[in-house]
Structure 1
Amino acid sequence: MKATYIHIPFCHHICHYCDFNKVFMKGQPVDEYLEALEKEMSLSVNKQVMETVFVGGGTPTALNEKQLEKLVSAVNRQLNIDTNTEYTFEANPGDLSKEKLAILKNAGVNRLSFGVQTFNDELLKKIGRSHRAKDVFASIENAKTAGFDNISIDLIYSLPGQTKQDFKESIQTALGLGLVHYSGYSLIIEPKTVFYNLLQKGKLPLPGEDAEAEMYETLMEQMENGGLRQYEISNFAVPGFESRHNLTYWNNEEYYGFGAGAHGYVDGIRQSNFGPLKKYMEPLSNGELPIMDAHMVTIEEKMEEEMFLGLRKTEGVSIRHFEEKFGQNPLDLFESQIKDWSAKGLLKSDGDKISLTRQGCLLGNEVFQSFIGVSNH
């Protein structure tokens, strides 16, 4: 096991589109949660060196300096992290004081991922973000000064009221920061969010599917022009700075998932933890793991996952690697899907690789969907 995801569910503000496991921070048992988190790690990990550690949320940087120190100390006690480990913290622009940056740097954190979403202050207000564009510039500047050179930012497109020109300007502003990694995601309206409720009432003016597709094409073009290589449907990097942690997921490899509501993939079992804090912490106080759900992945499911996760990568799925892993050729196993999508110009087979075409990237979800549940037919 070489990868670990750690979930910090606390937020100072709840964004209108977010459906991740999160709680308002005020009045929450933060210290007890961090102790429970360390307990969960101690019950689970071996001492193998971690290739990647990713701390996400929620908002990990919502923790105060003392709590942040407590968290990174626990991580360093329980996980074997060395100088080659990619150790990422998600951060909210405006949350990262110079003191917090120093704590992260001293603990061995070497990659920051900022949830920027847009550089348009009006849109930031509309989507429930607490930061403004000036906070992004200040946070990136402070992070660079603190010695962080592996910095990523997330952008979201197809936001309510967003125009193509507006998104293009956000991309150009982002590229102007000269960072090594960018992610761009289309807005997905999830149940139990502010946006979902507004949509149900007919009060959410979305740009529409055609505009969304054009924004995605703009993203790909602008990133390419800016010297960034697209290595996954939503991710772009200076070569050598791809997110090794996210590649763990897309390569269908196993990983630990620690924290309330976290998902893990351990010894062939996909598992998820209890989300509510009390339900998460209770079993740990008795020395038991807080697993809510566990599913032993069948060989058929593993092969399907290898396809629909692997096809997210620009390089696609390696036929040779698939054969080594499962003893079967994906071209035979998924013959009808591959022929069908290739005939429609969305998939291509080139030597050892099966991958999406550029047009396929635009309709990726339809392609991925077709590989799910094939073994049940």
Structure 2
Amino acid sequence: MSPLTSAFEEAYLRPPEGVWRAPGRVNLIGEHTDHNDGLVLPFALAQGVSVAAARRDDGVLELRSLQAAADGRVVRVDALTPGAVDGWAAYPAGVAWVLREHGVGGASLLIDSDLPQGAGLASSAALECATALALCDLYGVDLERPELARLAQRAENDFAGVPCGIMDQSAALLCTEGHALMLDCGSGLSSRVPVTFDGLTLLVIDTRVAHTHGAGGYAVRRAECERAAAVLGVASLRDVEDLPEALGRLGEPVLRRRVQHVVTENHRVEATVGLLRAKAAAEVGGMLTASHLSLRDQFEVSWPAADVAVEAALVAGARGGRMVGGGFGGSVIVLTADDRLERVRDAVAAAFEARRWAAPGFLEAVPSAGAARVV
């Protein structure tokens, strides 16, 4: 019996009907392109969120988390409305809300996670997707995974009030072991890209600066992109074909910077896919660093700890690195040769210590499988 199964029995005085797990993700490249109908290249992590669940016939949704033991929630599914549940519980409650139209009712859920929260590794999407699989299985709802990803995104957008794109939910549900997911966020089409890091490590560095999509900066950047698209007369910035011409038509310098990033970032995704398919993963480092500089200077979503981590890693011999996630906090990824890994870790840790910052966390990212029932 798994620890989560035992904990569920202790909490609810009956065994769960199953355990479902969804992974976090690292987005190798393609940042702030998803909400512009652009290209992204995430892969699933080995770390994620697990949900033990059992159906209830009284219409009640009870939510408990091993990471927030004192913050359980009890709500009626038919009474769920956007804004009715706050904090971490808004994400699974939002999933129950969107699945209500498919016949989903009450359930008891116990949640566990080994994914760092606030690190920009899509813990909220992992929670949504594990919950979605659990509720669908409990109620016999048969939905294709791309549709389930859209419903999980809707839960985050409309119920939790977070204006995220489709990337995180798609990564959690569609990724496969040993591959990244090349996702066109406009068309919804995706393909698997083999990722071979022979002699290399993709190191995730948690800067310990908490990241939240609910913060105002993310929504401001998204609104700026929408305003630029309106000025240019396109449905989204993905439709910008002539970058110099587009920049010339934008009077606001800030809008020019936003468009510059989004258009060039899409090109970097395409270039990275080409390098991976050519088994030239070592050359991806240059793409990562170029992405970071663009996110720092053009999209203006980096933060001091991310910049210090990338710079220290490069000085120590890493092949490249960049911030990941929506920005203003979270994690950095660094691509380094295995024989330089310890040197890179020590250099980043020393740079943080010199500034009297909290020690960074380190995680070696391995392209892993997507969400599934595990028990």
Same fold flag (TM > 0.5): no
TM superposition score normalised by structure 1? 0.26
Higher relative contact order, chain-length normalized (CA < 8 Å, sep 6+): 2
TM superposition score normalised by structure 2? 0.26
